[in-house]
Amino acid sequence: MKALSVVGPAADTDAAAAAVAAALRPRGRVATVRRDDTVATPASTARSVSLSDHGAWAASGVDRTLDDVLADLAPAFDYVIVEGFPDAALPTVALGDHDASDPDVTAPNADALDTEAVLAAVEDAPVRETLDSLVASLKSHEDSEFAGAIATFTGRVRERDDPDDTPTRHLEFERYDTVAEQRMATIREQLCERDGVYDVRMHHRTGVVPAGDDVVHVVVLAGHRGDAFRAVSDGIDRLKDEVPLFKKEVTVDDAFWRHDTPE
């Protein structure tokens, strides 16, 4: 899934989001997330969902961040347009005199928006994957009827190894995009060539990943659990050994690249 932020006057953001959504629909499934500060926060933890006969729905709740909502939408949508979140770390369209930080596309109003420039910004955006979205993609595989197993591995950012360690605040990952993508594609292809393995998905986040967050997933669709477990294990081992990823660790006291620090 790829996400785009639209900021500016409410009327313009609605019109711009509608235009971009219409342009994206031939390419995939599109959702829209709008900021609405008029919704009262419930005193309880109860959620409210409205569902129409044709499948359209709306929801409200508590303790949900934008990242939480995007993660919920990732399995079901290819694109999400976000309105009214100026601080979102997403490719951004700024309308009017909105002082967005380093927008990708600007326009005085929705009518003047260059839709092709917006589509290019969306396609350049990083893919947002979750464990649920990767599993969902495998369940729709053409050979899924023959598969009796989906095995997964999730790697998290560990805050500390033991109680005496200095806590890690976050890790920052960089990679050589072309080389990393080629290596991951090769690993995936070779795992898929194994007997009993139908498909494999691998995803590693880049940028800043806070302690406690998921950072890497390997998901395998296979006929039987043994084939699935072996492919998952080999997949994560090969990803760590063969894909050029550079990791900076930021603790409460210091910051350093892991290859600069002796084990």
Task: Assess contact for 54 and 44: CB atoms under 8 A.
Answer: no
Whether pTM exceeds 0.85? no
Helix or strand (DSSP H, E) at 19 = helix 10-24
Q: What is the pLDDT of residue 253?
A: 87
Instruction: Please state, in angstroms and as integers, the Cα–Cα distance from residue 135 to each residue in 72, 192, 201, following that order.
Output: 13, 16, 8
Q: What is the pLDDT of residue 263?
A: 38
Distance of CA 203 to the CA centre of its chain: 9
Q: What is the pLDDT of residue 261?
A: 41
- Confidence check: pLDDT of 58 > 90: no
For residues 201-210, average pLDDT: 92
Instruction: Please state, in angstroms and as integers, the Cα–Cα distance from residue 234 to each residue in 5, 124, 136, 182, 187, following that order.
Output: 38, 30, 22, 17, 9
Q: What is the pLDDT of residue 175?
A: 84
d(CA 236, CA 234): 6
Burial class of residue 208 (count of CB atoms within 10 Å of its CB; 0-12, 13-18, 19+): middle
Q: What is the pLDDT of residue 198?
A: 98
